[in-house]
A and B are shown apart, each in its own frame.
Chain A
Amino acid sequence: MKSRLFSLTIYLAATLSGMLVLLYPFFLPAISQQAGFGTLGAGEMPMMMAFLLGLCLLVLLFEAQGLIVNTKLIALLGILVAINSALRFIETVIPGPGGFTPIFFLIILVGYVFGGRVGFLMGALTLLVSALVTGGVGPWLPAQMFTAGWVGMSTLILRPMVKTLSEKQVKWGKSAINPEIFVLAGFGLLWGFLYGAIMNLWQWPFITGPQNQSYATGSGFLATLQHYLAFYLVTSLVWDSLAAIGNVLLLLALGIPALRALRRFRQRFEFSYTPETDAVSHPQGENLAV
């Protein structure tokens, strides 16, 4: 229990620090009325953000990987990350419409079936591996890994929601609608927009444009939010809508069979090898018992 609490503290500290780095335009007026970003110039800010987010990501990755120090999860994650990276590779060669990308479909399903921590690793490592093989490594990568990791991690909230909905469905009588897949599709829709909105924050303060859409030093939280929303509506809504619709369609069309397959394999993976303490009694390498 103590260990889980400690782990949760580290997750929270790393996530909050990462969010503080990404969301600084919204709280900057509260801590400074000066123009600019302290001693840093606009050109140095992206590098500093990459450095800070990279450090937060390292801590999160270290905590999450503690779970997978067993062969089954390592092999499972390795193969699933390869499949997802292959999808991104195909998408790089044949780009989909707007912001459509097939990678979030599997990240959401894996996080939902195998748990938030596996989901986090799935999201972060998919972005890492696909960046390595498509030459997409850059200062933007820590932010992409951090956000994609959180897509997988946040699936934690879906299980209680699905459980509640299923219980209500039982209470109200039989229905042909599967609440689970609709909850997952809604989640995909939400992250389709959120992922784009978070990644925009990377560059928004440095883009010059109309006053009501640009970042202005000294504006309050609400005014900054208003400007950002105006900017998002004009520049990104259509692009991200295609990403969100893509997630929903993929989850609705392919989600149920994929969920079944993942659950079947989760059951098959639920066994453990226990090392024998007395190696002398099994001298010929039989020190692993199922």
Chain B
Amino acid sequence: MKQPWAWVGWLIVTLVILSITRNPLYLLLILMCVLFVGLALRQAGSDIPTPFSLWKMALWIILLATVFNAITSHYGETVLFTIPGNLPLISGPVTLEAMVYGATNGLVLTGMLASFTVLSLALPVRDLVSLIPRAFFPVAVVTSIAVTYLPTTLRQFKQIREAQAIRGHQMRTLRDWLPLWMPLLVGGLEHAMQLAEAMTARGFASTRQVTGVKQVYPRIIMTLGLVLLALGWIAQLGGAGVNGLAVILTGAFFILGGLWYLGRQSPRTIYHRAGWSWQDWLTLVIAMGVLAICVLPVPGYGREALYYTPYPSLTLPPFNPLLGMAMLGLTMPGILIINRKPDEN
């Protein structure tokens, strides 16, 4: 699987399902699916170092969410103990239901974090940058420069710190950061100067800018789209329901359409275009199928089981095996990665 949009499709579906369910059984199942894909990627050699351990992070998130909800939310019938006194927000009964709800929220956050970690394992940063639409080519160039220059900056920071340490520099107060900070900033700005000259020498941004009607009309349409977004949001919150959503979607269509039109005016050349393989299509179609089963009222799948709440009294969360089986479709990228031939790597 090399097509970035197939991965993005899988990610969006995973996030949507994670955000609509509060049933811990389904949440655990989705988390398992995501971890399976992540482990498959690691096994296949996608070993991008991350600044923190996902396992430790997950443990902290779930623990913090559980404790925070338990001491701040005092609803529920199964009282475990009571925090005495008149401490605002904290004093009151600590209930089992609040702890379960907090842990469930922690699971949702962990699932989201794990999904994005899998995406960054699956796609190199250059592929992520290539997803930036054509209309945003200056932003894409700035992002590319920043991502490329970031490791150099960290290396430079280390070198400056070592050089200052050799001279006997010690960190005692905030002002002691000055001998580290200023060479880093000035060095970076000098580098920006050289980079700008190199880019100009290679003819970057030397083409004539598109002006006039071709620039103005799409921007008017985008402004109209913004107005529709605001009106639709107010209508949605006011209880207009489907009408509000329809206005929001029309506004989104105007904005995205305007950006698409403006993007067409900026030609993009691609050295190597990632094609759509059957694996990409299969992943996308199955992900869409899972989404449809979770969002649409498909007979037999009992999507009501997704909307579980432990309040007011804790009960066992319902589990529909058919819905669970459907969710296993999210493991498809992992299955494809494990079963691919060595020459496809």
Binding site for B on A (CB under 8 A): 6, 9-10, 13-14, 16-17, 20-21, 24, 28, 31-32, 34, 37-41, 43-44, 46-47, 51-52, 55-56, 58-59, 61-63, 65, 68-72, 74-83, 85-86, 89-90, 92-93, 121, 125, 128-129, 132-139, 207-210, 213, 230-231, 234-235, 249-250, 253-254, 257-258, 261-262, 265, 268-269, 273, 275, 288
B262 to A209, Cβ gap below 8 A? no
Contact residues in A for B177 (Cβ distance below 8 Å): 253-254
Q: Which of B39-47, B193-201, B279-287, B317-325 contacts A (4 or more CB under 8 A)?
A: B193-201
10 A-B pairs closest in CB distance: A78-B145, A82-B149, A75-B196, A81-B146, A75-B195, A71-B199, A79-B192, A86-B153, A39-B241, A82-B146
Some 7 contacts from A to B, beta carbons below 8 A apart, are A6-B219, A55-B251, A74-B142, A125-B139, A213-B89, A250-B174, A261-B186
Q: Which of B19-27, B163-171, B334-342 contacts A (4 or more CB under 8 A)?
A: B19-27
- The SS class assigned to the A binding surface is helix
Q: Does B112 sit within 8 A of A, measured CB to CB?
A: yes
Contact residues in A for B241 (Cβ distance below 8 Å): 38-39
B138 to A69, Cβ gap below 8 A? yes
Q: Does B64 sit within 8 A of A, measured CB to CB?
A: no
Q: Does B222 sit within 8 A of A, measured CB to CB?
A: yes
The minimal Cβ–Cβ distance linking B336 to chain A, given in whole angstroms, is: 23
- The SS class assigned to the B binding surface is helix
Q: Does B259 sit within 8 A of A, measured CB to CB?
A: yes
- Counting contact residues on chain B (CB < 8 A from A), the size range is 35 or more
Contact residues in B for A90 (Cβ distance below 8 Å): 154, 157
Question: If the complex has contacts A59-B255, A138-B116, A269-B193, are A14 and B226 also in contact, measured as CB distance less than 8 A?
Answer: yes
Residue of B nearest to A288 (CB): B200
Contact residues in B for A31 (Cβ distance below 8 Å): 234, 237-238
A78 to B153, Cβ gap below 8 A? no
A258 to B185, Cβ gap below 8 A? yes
The minimal Cβ–Cβ distance linking B23 to chain A, given in whole angstroms, is: 11
Residue of B nearest to A67 (CB): B138
**Contact residues, B118-172 vs A (CB, 8 A):** 119-120, 125, 128, 135-136, 138-139, 141-150, 152-154, 157
